[in-house]
């Protein structure tokens, strides 16, 4: 039973981390503008994140150390510092976007200004990170995030042309929106599916859960079930936006519009479920990004870290965690639009992706840490191909953002 619960925890953690505010916005915007033309991006993202999350989980289980903990030791302090700065910047921006997503979800449910909800959301996130046990945290918010399946169910209530959806997925194109805009959205959507914090959190979470080599099967099951389910939920967002918004060429700019398909399908009940799902996935992602920011800093500097460690014994880790949450609040209190912030965050994330994934591939092939459990030829081939895609997305992100005016 304990092993079953551990596997379930990993699956729920993967779902909660995969479908965050970036996916809510990017996936819905992609469907509204380009129909199912970006379905292949989600498939590629799921395959890639599965490959690298498996490496990260295996590193944690076999070595007993998190990925970032080994990056400095394997690559040296200078390269690792560059990785830390880039990762921390992306993670804090993501944390700010997730806190904005929590506030927007509360606004959706209450109609109270989202800015008033920002400090409430931040306090709630910090309180859960400070007081709630790691396993309970993941089970509560991962399970609640599964409410997002309402978008998949809504397809059966909407006037869905399944043949048209299939044709759009199998024959992607710019749909009259311009090729540069199509590729900008592709890069943004890709970056949302492979956010750097996912693998850092997954690896560090394995250490928090005290994984060992005996837990490798559970870790792989968590990856191979959880992340595809997250991809399926994101694909449901694309599909519902395609059905409702694509025929009229509507461009999405608010979370209310993202929820519109389930409101049309189920009325007020659909709105309540969507608000719950948005709250759960953004709150869960805020927890994961907050922890990831503290994980990377503590692991680089060699501090004591982890939720399992009391604040008194890991004061610097918990201080970085609190400072990261406060920085996220400060970003939002500038009145920046959380949806707009998400778009910029995805561009920055795309640029920083190689610094996250290259070290994982290197460590996963190091027998000093993994012995005979290093990558096999097939996983190395998949990892290398995916790394080329990551580099291409990183190189293209800023030129596409500039030439298209952030995809406009």
pLDDT digits (tens, 9 = 90+) for 123-149: 999 999 888 887 778 777 777 778 899
Range of lowest pLDDT (26-40, 88-102, 217-231): 217-231
18 confidence band (pLDDT: 50, 70, 90): low
What does the pLDDT read at residue 335? 83
Average pLDDT (348-369) is 86
What does the pLDDT read at residue 227? 84
Pull the structure tokens for residue 23.
């996916």
What does the pLDDT read at residue 81? 87
Average pLDDT (210-239) is 85
What does the pLDDT read at residue 336? 83
Q: 240 phi and psi, to 5 degrees?
A: -65, -40
Q: For residues 356 and 189, what is the distance between their CA atoms, to the nearest angstrom?
A: 17
Q: Is the pLDDT of residue 236 over 70?
A: yes
Average pLDDT (99-108) is 90
What does the pLDDT read at residue 144? 79
SS3 of the chain: the string is CHHHHHHHHHHHHHHHHHCCHHHHHHHHHHHHHHHHHHHHHHHHHHHHHHHHHHHHHHHHHHHCCCHHHHHHHHHCHHHHHHHHHHHHHHHHHHHHHHHHHHHHHHHHHHCCCHHHHHHHHHHHHHHHHHHCCHHHHHHHHHHHHHHHHHHHHHCCCCCCCHHHHHHHHHCCCCCCCCHHHHHHHHHHHHHHHCCHHHHHHHHHHHHHCCCCHHHHHHHHHHHHHHHHHHHHHHHHHHHHHHHHCHHHCCCCCCHHHHHHHHHHHHCHHHHHHHHHHHHHHHHHHHHHHHHHHHHHHHHHHCCCCCCCCCCCCCHHHHHHHHHHHHHHHHHHCCCCCHHHHHHHHHHHHHHHHHHHHHHHHHHCCCHHHHHHHCCCHHHHHHHHHHHHHHHHHHHHHHHHHHHHCCCC
Buried b (16+ CB within 10 A) or exposed e, 53-68: bbbbbbbbbbbebbbb
Cα three-residue angle 346-136-119, rounded to 5 degrees: 50
> How buried is 233 (Cβ within 10 angstroms: 0-12 exposed, 13-18 middle, 19+ buried)?
buried
pTM score of the predicted model:
0.89
Q: For residues 287 and 233, what is the distance between their CA atoms, to the nearest angstrom?
A: 20
Range of lowest pLDDT (130-144, 177-191, 222-236, 355-369): 130-144
What does the pLDDT read at residue 238? 93
Which residues, including other chains, have CB under 8 Å from residue 12's CB and lie 6 or more apart? Answer: 138, 139, 142, 143, 145, 146, 226
225 confidence band (pLDDT: 50, 70, 90): confident
What does the pLDDT read at residue 176? 66
Range of lowest pLDDT (210-219, 261-270, 367-376, 380-389): 210-219
Q: Is the pLDDT of residue 7 over 70?
A: no
Q: Is the pLDDT of residue 399 over 70?
A: yes
Which residues, including other chains, have CB under 8 Å from residue 259's CB and lie 6 or more apart? Answer: 108, 270, 271, 274, 275, 278
Q: Is the pLDDT of residue 16 over 60?
A: no
Buried b (16+ CB within 10 A) or exposed e, 131-153: eeebbebbbbbbbbbbbbbbbee
What percent of the chain shows pLDDT beyond 70? 94
Pull the structure tokens for residue 31.
């469907």
Instruction: Pick the closest to residue 71 from 288, 364, 382, 306 (CA basis).
Output: 364
Average pLDDT (19-41) is 86
Q: For residues 193 and 125, what is the distance between their CA atoms, to the nearest angstrom?
A: 22
Residue with tokens 């506030």: 103
Average pLDDT over the chain, rounded to an integer: 85
What does the pLDDT read at residue 119? 93
Range of lowest pLDDT (4-13, 209-218, 308-317): 4-13
Range of lowest pLDDT (12-26, 225-239, 254-268, 271-285): 12-26
Average pLDDT (277-294) is 90
What does the pLDDT read at residue 13? 58
Instruction: Pick the closest to residue 261 from 159, 166, 154, 163 (CA basis).
Output: 154
Q: Is the pLDDT of residue 407 over 70?
A: no
Q: Is the pLDDT of residue 9 over 60?
A: no
Contact 201, 291 (CB under 8 A): yes
Which residues, including other chains, have CB under 8 Å from residue 329's CB and lie 6 or more apart? Answer: 96, 99, 118, 119, 122
Average pLDDT (189-212) is 84
Q: Is the pLDDT of residue 14 over 80?
A: no
Average pLDDT (58-67) is 87
What does the pLDDT read at residue 196? 81
Q: 20 phi and psi, to 5 degrees?
A: -105, -165
């Amino acid at each position: 039973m304990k092993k079953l619960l551990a596997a379930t925890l990993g699956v729920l953690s993967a779902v909660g981390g995969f479908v965050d505010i970036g996916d809510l916005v990017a996936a819905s915007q992609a469907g509204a503008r380009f129909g199912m033309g970006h379905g292949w991006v989600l498939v590629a993202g799921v395959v890639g994140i599965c490959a690298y999350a498996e490496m990260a989980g295996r590193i944690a289980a076999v070595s007993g150390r998190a990925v970032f903990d080994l990056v400095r030791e394997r690559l040296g302090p200078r390269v690792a510092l560059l990785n830390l700065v880039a990762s921390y910047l992306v993670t804090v921006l993501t944390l700010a976007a997730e806190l904005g997503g929590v506030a927007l979800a509360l606004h959706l449910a209450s109609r109270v200004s989202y800015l008033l909800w920002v400090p409430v959301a931040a306090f709630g996130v910090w309180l859960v990170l400070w007081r709630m046990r790691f396993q309970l945290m993941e089970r509560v918010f991962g399970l609640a995030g599964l409410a997002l399946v309402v978008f998949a169910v809504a397809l059966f209530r909407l006037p869905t042309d399944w043949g048209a959806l299939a044709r759009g997925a199998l024959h992607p194109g710019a749909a009259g929106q311009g090729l540069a805009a199509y590729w900008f959205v592709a890069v943004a959507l890709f970056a949302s599916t492979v956010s750097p914090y996912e693998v850092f959190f997954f690896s560090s979470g394995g250490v928090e859960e005290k994984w060992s080599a005996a837990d490798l099967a559970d870790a792989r099951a968590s990856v191979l079930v959880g992340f595809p389910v997250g991809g399926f939920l994101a694909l449901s967002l694309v599909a519902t936006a395609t059905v409702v918004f694509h025929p009229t060429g509507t461009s999405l700019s608010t979370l209310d519009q993202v929820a519109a398909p389930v409101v049309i399908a189920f009325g007020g009940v659909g709105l309540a479920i969507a608000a719950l799902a948005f709250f759960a996935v953004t709150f869960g992602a805020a927890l994961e990004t907050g922890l990831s920011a503290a994980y990377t800093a503590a692991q680089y500097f060699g501090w004591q870290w982890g939720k399992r460690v009391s604040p008194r014994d890991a004061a610097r880790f918990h201080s970085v965690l609190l400072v990261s949450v406060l920085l996220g609040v400060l970003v939002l209190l500038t009145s920046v639009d959380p949806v707009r912030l998400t778009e910029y965050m995805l561009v920055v994330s795309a640029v920083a992706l190689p610094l996250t994934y290259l070290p994982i591939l290197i460590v996963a092939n190091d027998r000093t840490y993994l012995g005979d459990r290093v990558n096999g030829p097939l996983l190395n081939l998949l990892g290398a191909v995916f790394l080329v895609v990551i580099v291409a997305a990183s190189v293209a992100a800023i030129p596409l953002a500039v030439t298209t005016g952030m995809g406009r």
